[in-house]
A and B are shown apart, each in its own frame.
Chain A
C-alpha cells in the first residue's frame, strides 16, 4: 500500500489530513499491520482538547493494546462512531473510512514538523 501524499505522518504511526481548519486523524497501514486483528478502539468524546504527542486513545488487537498519540493539538469535533461497532475497518481501510477523529487545529504550524509520505515510507522501510 502506498502512503497518500497529502497526509502528514508521525513516527508513532499516526497520520493527519487537513480539511479546512480541521485535521482528520488516523493510524497508518503499517500500524494496523503491526497490530493485527483490531478488536477495540477507544476514542475521546467530542469537545475534548488534545495535545500534540499526548495520548488520544487506544487501539486493541487480539495480541496487544497500543496508545494512539495525537499528531496535532486541538479540540475534538467529531469521532468516527462506526469504529465502535466495526473496529475491523481499521485493518481494511486505515487511510480512508477508518479515520479516528477530526480535530479543530489550534496550532496548524505543527503540521510542518511531521513526516511527509516519502519520509514516512522510508522510516517504516520497504515492507509497507
Chain B
C-alpha cells in the first residue's frame, strides 16, 4: 500500500496502529478500515457493542441571536422544530437542489447550533454556510476542537454508563446532552450510523485516547471490539443510511435519494427550496431503491443496472450483508420502476447477474422497551 505523507491523522492513530488495524486513505485521512475483520466487527455491533473512531468527521458551530435563521436557511429540515438537546438529520443543498452534504444539526441552545458534517466535505460545507450568512450569526470551523467516538450496539449504553454519571437511558434517540465522560466535558448524542442503539461522543482531542482505552476496558465484559470504516459501511448500508459520494452528491436531490422526510417545504425559504418544490410538483425521474442479488455476484458502486436488457441506472453501494447473508445494494432506477419485486440485472465485470429490488431498510433492529 502506498502511503502518502500528507494524510491527516486522528488523535487515536497510535491506538489503531498498536491494535494492528489496517489503515487506508479515506478522503485524505489515514483511517482504520478493519481490525479483526469486517464481518466479525459488523456482527459484534449487531450483537454486543463496537467502538469506532470517527474523529475525521467535521464540526461547525453556529452561534448568535440569528443562528437559527442561518441554519434554517442552509438546511432542508425544520430547525425551528428542534428543542434544546435535540438532534436532526438534514440536507445542505445547492440552489439546484443537489447535495452539498448530509449533516446532523444539534440544538445546543436557542442561539447555538452544533453541526456534524462529513470529513471530506467540511471545508466546502463551512464555506457554503459562511457565504449564506447574511444574518447576524457567527460561523466557526470547529473540527480541530473535537474528536468523536461512536459506541454502537445493544450493549453500548451499559458500556458507556461505566464512564459517566449521566442518565443515558433518559436520552432519547436523536437527543443529546453535555456531561462528563471519565471526568472530562463531553457531548453525548444518542445517534449513530449503524442501525443499532448507541452513542456518539464528542470530546477534546487531547482526551480522546484515554476515553477510547477506558471504553474498551469498560466494554471488555460485553465483548466490545474496535471497529473500522469497513464495518461502518456494511452496517450503514443494511440500515439504508446514505453515504455522501455514493447515494447522494451534487447531482442528486433528497427526493431522488428517498430522503423526502428531511425536506420541509412549508418551513419557509431555504437554499434549494424552489428546485425541490418544482421537482415535487413534476415528480422525480429517478429514485434510490434497494436490491438483492439473485445470481452469484456482488453489485458494487458504479456498476451498471439493466432492466429488460437495457441500461437503466447504476449501483451506489453494494456489499455482502453480514447480518442477512445475502448480497445487497442500493441503486438508482427510473422512478416508475423503483418498487420492490422488480427483476433487474447488475453488470458485474461485464456479465449480467440477476437481482431484484426489495423493500428497505434491509435490516431493522428489534425495538426495545
**Chain A residues with a Cβ under 8 A of chain B:** 33-34, 36-37, 39-40, 58, 60, 62-65, 91
**CB-defined contacts of B296 to chain A, threshold 8 Å:** 40
Most buried by B among A36, A62, A64: A62
State whether A62 and B1 are in contact (beta carbons under 8 Å apart), knowing that A33-B22, A34-B22 are contacts in the complex. Answer: no
Point out the residues of chain B lying under 8 angstroms from A40, CB to CB.
296-298
A-B contact pairs, 25 of them (CB 8 A): A33-B22, A34-B1, A34-B22, A36-B37, A36-B38, A36-B230, A37-B37, A37-B38, A39-B298, A39-B320, A40-B297, A40-B298, A58-B349, A60-B298, A62-B38, A62-B230, A62-B234, A62-B319, A63-B33, A63-B38, A63-B230, A63-B319, A65-B300, A65-B349, A91-B37
Q: Tell yes or no: B194 within 8 A of A by CB.
A: no
A62 lies within 8 A of B300 (CB): no
In B1-52, the 8 Å CB interface with A consists of 1, 22, 33-34, 37-39
B interface residue count range (under 10 / 10 to 19 / 20 to 34 / 35 or more): 10 to 19
Q: Are A62 and B349 touching (Cβ within 8 A)?
A: no
Do the beta carbons of B320 and A62 come within 8 Å of each other?
yes
Chain B positions within 8 Å of A37 at CB level: 37-39
Residues of B in contact with A (beta carbons under 8 Å apart): 1, 22, 33-34, 37-39, 230, 234, 296-298, 300, 319-320, 322, 349
- Bound together, the chains give a CA A34 to CA B297 distance in angstroms of 20
Residues of B within 8 A of A58 (CB): 349
Q: Complex: how many Å from CA A65 to CA B348?
A: 10
Q: In the complex, which residues of chain B have a beta carbon less than 8 angstroms from the beta carbon of A91?
A: 37
Report the 10 A-B pairs with minimum CB-CB distance, sorted nearest first: A37-B39, A62-B38, A39-B320, A62-B320, A37-B37, A36-B38, A37-B38, A63-B230, A36-B34, A36-B37
Closest residue of chain A to B230, judged by CB? A63
Given A39-B320, A40-B298, are A62 and B39 neighbors across the interface (CB < 8 Å)? yes
Additional 8 contacts, C-beta under 8 A, given A40-B297, A62-B38, A62-B234? A36-B22, A36-B38, A36-B230, A39-B320, A40-B296, A60-B298, A65-B298, A65-B300
Q: In the docked arrangement, what's the CA distance between A60 and B39, Å?
A: 14
Q: How far is the CA of A40 from the CA of B296 in the complex (A)?
A: 9
Point out the residues of chain A lying under 8 angstroms from B319, CB to CB.
62-63
CB neighbours of B34 from chain A (8 A): 36
